[in-house]
Amino acid sequence: MDKYPDQKQKRAVQYLHPPIEPFDTRMIDVGQDHRIYVEQSGNPDGIPVVVLHGGPGGGCSPAMRRYFNASAYRIILFDQRGCGHSRPNASVENNTTWHLVADIETIRQQLEIETWFVFGGSWGATLALLYAQTHPDRVTHLILRGVFLMTQAELDWFYGGGAGRFWPETWERFAALVPEGERSNMIAAYHKRLFSGDLAEEIRYARAWSAWENALASIQSSGISGEPPGDYARAFARLENHYFINGGFLDFDGQILAHMDRISHIPGVIVQGRYDMICPPASAWNLAQRWPNSELRMVRNAGHALSEPGISAELVRIMDQLAEDSL
């Protein structure tokens, strides 16, 4: 989950560090016909931090560099398989959570980084937790936002009508494209159309899938979102739907919380919008209860988006403090 990071960023720009350009960009061949886009910016000798974008399928954004002091951090951004500048675009072949976890480790090794901070929001928080649980000796700090634990309950909330009770008119637009007899499983209904083989139909349903989520991202939303470019929407919706219909490729529902003992020694901060309609605060709360070495910071008057002003301000404050503490 989590999309369109640039569209709402203007409201939060006052809290961010100045824009910067990468000092290194590359395409890394990770096998199985996938090449992923990776960039580095900031200080080559600074504290390494890898940024995990939302979605799945959302791609990274230049604005994401600005949550970090460029003199203190070596900032690594990358587009996960199938989205952004990574190729092939919108491909779900050889594209699972465990491929992404392996890709993160490949990036770390190729950049010759021993340990790093891991910063992720929404699906990026999911991936950060799973990466840390798989490679706990490589993560020195976790910074998470808008927690999504990849559980069936969370999917049922967002695609089973829970969030639609707060946004009935927006839900109706999302549901109206599906025959009434298929609405009991919206993920499956959209899956059939997002992978129909008819490009025009795939883009139509991709835009509707993306619009439903984007409309609920901000606390300031009117319930109506802009229309994303067709290629972007198709990659986003196909990848997100592919992951969700497969339960995130986890071994069992509730896996992340069940394995929190693996990373109990890793310090972390959780930043959560109080009125997050996409990833309700219960997940962040439950995570904090299983993770004594974490601090939960609930941001009032904030929804889900990275670009919510209160969330942006809190994240910048946290990263600045961590940099200062590392001196």
Per-position DSSP letters for 83-124, written without gaps between them: STT-BSTT--TT--HHHHHHHHHHHHHHTT-S-EEEEEETHH
- Exactly one of 2, 79, 103, 276 is catalytic; which is it? 276
> Which amino acid appears at position 142 of this protein?
L
- Exactly one of 41, 61, 122, 225 is catalytic; which is it? 122
Give 141's strand partners.
117
- Please tell me the distance from the alpha carbon of residue 326 to that of residue 309, in angstroms, as a whole number: 26
Q: What angle do CA 247, 236, 126 make, to 5 degrees?
A: 45
DSSP 302: -
**Beta strand pairing status for 268-273 and 116-121?**
unpaired
- Exactly one of 34, 141, 191, 304 is catalytic; which is it? 304
Residue 304 annotated to the active site: yes
List alpha helices for 121-185, DSSP H.
Answer: 123-134, 152-159, 168-175
**Beta strand pairing status for 268-273 and 139-145?**
parallel
- Please tell me the distance from the alpha carbon of residue 77 to that of residue 2, in angstroms, as a whole number: 16
Q: Of 278, 159, 171, nearest to 216 (Cα)?
A: 278
Q: Report the helix count and the strand count for the chain, using DSSP H and E.
A: 10, 8
- Please tell me the distance from the alpha carbon of residue 28 to that of residue 38, in angstroms, as a whole number: 7
- Please tell me the distance from the alpha carbon of residue 70 to that of residue 73, in angstroms, as a whole number: 5
- Please tell me the distance from the alpha carbon of residue 320 to that of residue 313, in angstroms, as a whole number: 11
Residue 156 annotated to the active site: no
Question: Catalytic site residues?
Answer: 122, 276, 304
